[in-house]
């Protein structure tokens, strides 16, 4: 099973600088790592913007920024976190892991893969350059509803830069999706049938289908809004014969599937980690796959639950479908819990973060499911309750899964282990800070605090909980310092990982850490969804 590193045998190319090598690479592993680094950069930018929001809300009155700047802070916080952190981060994991897990030498279209990546920093620079132009960055919320986002109320170039940047980032996602689907259907190693693919690969496949079908629709909406703002178009202007709610329909037709784009690969990461650290196969492998596909399919029939209060949508249908989509997610919860049940758990950092995901995502799922009931939604629409919900699924869900994935695959990517103690310190700080920040928001929402306000009255009774949330926000920020320190010291002095430090199941662990160019010199036989497990225990099991 042990694999020989190929360094000594690899042909020597004319040596170029490492920088040139990284800037021009078409290797999916280097591109995947660049995705991760780029995403973390925007994670920290988005995090600083969030700290600005929390600082301003810590107590009643305007202390730090004016209202217009505040609008830019929360708009750009959400835009950076969604478009430049969560989605690309998960795509980056996919980029690194999918070809390895299916035993392929690279993605199907390596150069298009590089293009997909380089569109991201370009879009990021474009969207952030809004801070430098007159009128400031985009400030109508990440949803950019017209008429607020129209030229009349937001004449500045920031919104136009936002529209173009999101179109570029969307193009990156679309090209990535084409690449993933082709790679998964065409590049699997002999023996790697569809129902032997790791769950991570399955979730990337379903995610890619969602990207392929949903993202171009958003692009069309972005173009229409751009035309409305700059060339006197009338799509969203009722005075010119347009329909204002049309934007919401187009936007949520993308953005609801997009929340599955932001969580399905995270579920894939968790489903890779739980079996390894429970020493058991994933419970209900096929059920999990069908549940993933069901979420993907149902995801296209629930977008209007974001628009219940517009009075323009057929409430019973969208309410029913929204209740329905909770079912496959519930199936997955059972998959995960049953995988842990009676397993031999080793509480390494990846499992700890995965357990953080399970608990926090469960809260986020349940507090969101209430909103499928139209009366509840009418009461809580656009309150801080919704802010609590999306942070429980996106931070409690996706971000904990991202850190689980980082701790799990860092040894594969770099050849060195991250420090376990620092990882656990980071987890405790993040977990406490996260709940301090976002749990009070449930109560703030129930007591009527609207989202996206820069100030509130001291007599509203929201002051204490807002202060708690702000303290929590800074605890999260402090909790990220051990991570940065951990990465730096582990890259230099971390424990050497070896090929397979976790005794894992899937093919990325059947090659060196980090893997050589083109990944494998030989593959184990693939007779199940756990080929590396089979190879490790093959002799004992009599294969």
Partner 1 sequence: MRGTAPQPATEPGDHPDEVRGHDDVTAESQALTPVEHSPVGALAHDARGGLSNPVMGMLLFLVSEVMFFAGLFAAYFSVRAAAPQWPPADFGDYLHVFPLAGPATAILVLSSFTCQLAVWSIRRDDRNGFVRNLAVTVVLGVVFLVIQGSDYIMLWSEGLTLDSGIYGSTFYTMTGFHGAHVLGGVIMLGVVLYRGMLGQFSARHHDAVEAASLYWHFVDVVWIALFTTLYILPGTPAGG
Site residues (vs partner 1, CB under 8 A): 4, 6, 8-9, 11, 105, 108-109, 112, 174-175, 177-179, 181-182, 185-188, 190-191, 193-195, 212-221, 223-224, 227-228, 231-235, 240-243, 246, 249-250, 253, 516-523, 525-527
- Nearer to partner 1 among residue 210 and residue 449 (C-beta): 210
Minimal distance, residue 185 CB to partner 1, in Å: 5
- Nearer to partner 1 among residue 203 and residue 398 (C-beta): 203
Q: How far apart are the first and last CA of the chain?
A: 14
CB neighbours (10 Å) of residue 495? Answer: 13
Minimal distance, residue 138 CB to partner 1, in Å: 21
- Nearer to partner 1 among residue 4 and residue 458 (C-beta): 4
CA-nearest of 501, 392, 400, 369 to 440 is 392
- Nearer to partner 1 among residue 227 and residue 428 (C-beta): 227
Going by C-beta distance under 8 Å and a sequence separation of 6 or more, which residues neighbour residue 108?
179, 182, 183, 186, 187
E strand map for 418-514: none
Distance CA 376, CA 445 (A): 12
- Nearer to partner 1 among residue 148 and residue 209 (C-beta): 209
What is the separation of C-alpha 83 from the centre of its chain, rounded to a whole number of angstroms? 9
- Nearer to partner 1 among residue 317 and residue 347 (C-beta): 317
Minimal distance, residue 212 CB to partner 1, in Å: 5
Distance CA 59, CA 238 (A): 39
- Nearer to partner 1 among residue 247 and residue 283 (C-beta): 247
Minimal distance, residue 217 CB to partner 1, in Å: 4
Element (H, E) at 185: helix 157-186
What 188-193 contacts at long range (C-beta under 8 Å, 24+ apart), as own/partner pairs, is: 188/102, 188/103, 188/104, 189/102, 189/103, 189/104, 189/507, 189/523, 189/526, 190/526, 191/525, 191/526, 191/527, 191/531, 192/102, 192/103, 192/507, 192/526
- Nearer to partner 1 among residue 165 and residue 512 (C-beta): 512
Burial pattern 305-330, b for ≥16 Cβ within 10 A else e, equals: bbbbeeeebeeeebbebbeebbebbe
Distances (CA, A) of 64 to 56, 61, 73: 6, 9, 12
- Nearer to partner 1 among residue 243 and residue 489 (C-beta): 243
Would you call 450 helix, strand, or coil by DSSP? strand
Minimal distance, residue 95 CB to partner 1, in Å: 16
Minimal distance, residue 514 CB to partner 1, in Å: 16
Minimal distance, residue 463 CB to partner 1, in Å: 44
Query: Using an 8 Å Cβ cutoff, are 260 and 228 in contact?
Result: no
Minimal distance, residue 535 CB to partner 1, in Å: 13
The crossing angle, in degrees rounded to 10, of helices 67-79 and 110-128 is: 170
Minimal distance, residue 469 CB to partner 1, in Å: 37
CA-nearest of 321, 329, 502, 333 to 410 is 502
Would you call 524 helix, strand, or coil by DSSP? coil
Minimal distance, residue 116 CB to partner 1, in Å: 12
Distance CA 28, CA 178 (A): 15
- Nearer to partner 1 among residue 35 and residue 254 (C-beta): 254
74 phi/psi in degrees, rounded to 5: -75, -30
- Nearer to partner 1 among residue 23 and residue 240 (C-beta): 240
Minimal distance, residue 214 CB to partner 1, in Å: 7
């Amino acid at each position: 099973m042990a694999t020989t590193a190929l360094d000594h045998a690899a042909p020597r190319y004319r040596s170029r600088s490492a920088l040139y090598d990284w800037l021009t690479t078409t290797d999916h592993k280097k591109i995947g790592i660049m995705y991760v680094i780029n995403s973390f950069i925007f994670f920290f930018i988005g995090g600083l913007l969030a700290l600005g929001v929390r600082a301003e809300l810590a107590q009643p009155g305007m202390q730090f920024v004016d209202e217009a700047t505040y609008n830019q802070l929360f708009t750009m916080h959400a835009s950076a976190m969604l478009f430049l952190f969560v989605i690309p981060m998960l795509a980056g994991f996919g980029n690194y892991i999918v070809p390895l897990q299916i035993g392929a030498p690279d993605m199907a279209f390596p150069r298009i893969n590089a293009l997909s990546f380089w569109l991201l920093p370009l879009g990021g620079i474009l969207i952030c350059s809004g801070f430098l132009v007159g009128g400031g960055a985009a400030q109508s919320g990440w949803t950019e509803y017209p008429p607020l986002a129209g030229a009349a109320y937001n004449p500045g170039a920031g919104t136009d830069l936002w529209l173009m940047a999101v179109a570029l980032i969307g193009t990156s996602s679309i090209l990535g999706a084409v690449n993933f689907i082709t790679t998964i259907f065409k590049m699997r190693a002999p023996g790697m049938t569809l129902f032997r693919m790791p769950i991570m690969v399955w979730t990337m496949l379903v995610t890619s289908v969602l990207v392929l079908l949903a993202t171009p629709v958003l692009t069309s909406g972005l173009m229409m809004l751009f035309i409305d703002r700059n060339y006197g178009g009338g799509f969203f202007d009722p005075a010119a014969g347009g329909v204002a709610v049309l934007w919401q329909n187009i936007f949520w037709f993308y953005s609801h599937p997009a929340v599955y784009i932001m969580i399905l690969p995270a579920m894939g990461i968790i489903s890779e980690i739980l079996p390894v650290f429970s020493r058991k196969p994933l419970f209900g492998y096929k059920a999990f796959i069908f549940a993933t596909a069901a979420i993907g399919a149902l995801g296209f029939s629930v977008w209007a639950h974001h628009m219940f209060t517009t009075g323009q949508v057929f409430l019973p249908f969208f309410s029913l479908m929204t209740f329905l989509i909770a079912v496959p997610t519930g199936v997955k919860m059972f998959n995960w819990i049953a995988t842990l049940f009676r397993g031999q758990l080793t509480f390494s950092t990846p499992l700890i973060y995965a357990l953080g995901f399970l608990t926090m995502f469960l809260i986020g799922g349940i507090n969101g499911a209430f909103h499928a009931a139209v009366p509840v939604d009418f009461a809580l629409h656009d309150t801080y309750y919704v802010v609590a919900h999306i942070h429980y699924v996106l931070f409690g869900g996706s971000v904990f899964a991202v850190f689980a994935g980082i701790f799990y695959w860092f040894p594969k990517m770099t050849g060195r282990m991250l420090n376990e103690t620092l990882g656990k310190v980071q987890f405790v700080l993040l977990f406490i800070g996260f709940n301090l920040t976002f749990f009070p928001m449930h109560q703030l929402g129930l007591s009527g605090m609207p989202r996206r306000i820069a100030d509130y009255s001291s007599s509203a009774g929201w002051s204490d909980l807002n202060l708690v949330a702000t303290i929590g926000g800074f605890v999260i920020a402090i909790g990220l310092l051990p991570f940065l320190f951990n990465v730096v010291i582990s890259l230099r002095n971390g424990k050497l990982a070896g090929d397979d430090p976790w005794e894992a199941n899937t093919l990325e662990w059947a090659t060196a850490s980090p893997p050589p160019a083109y990944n494998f010199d030989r593959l184990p036989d693939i007779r199940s969804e756990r080929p590396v497990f089979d190879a490790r225990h093959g002799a004992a099991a009599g294969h």
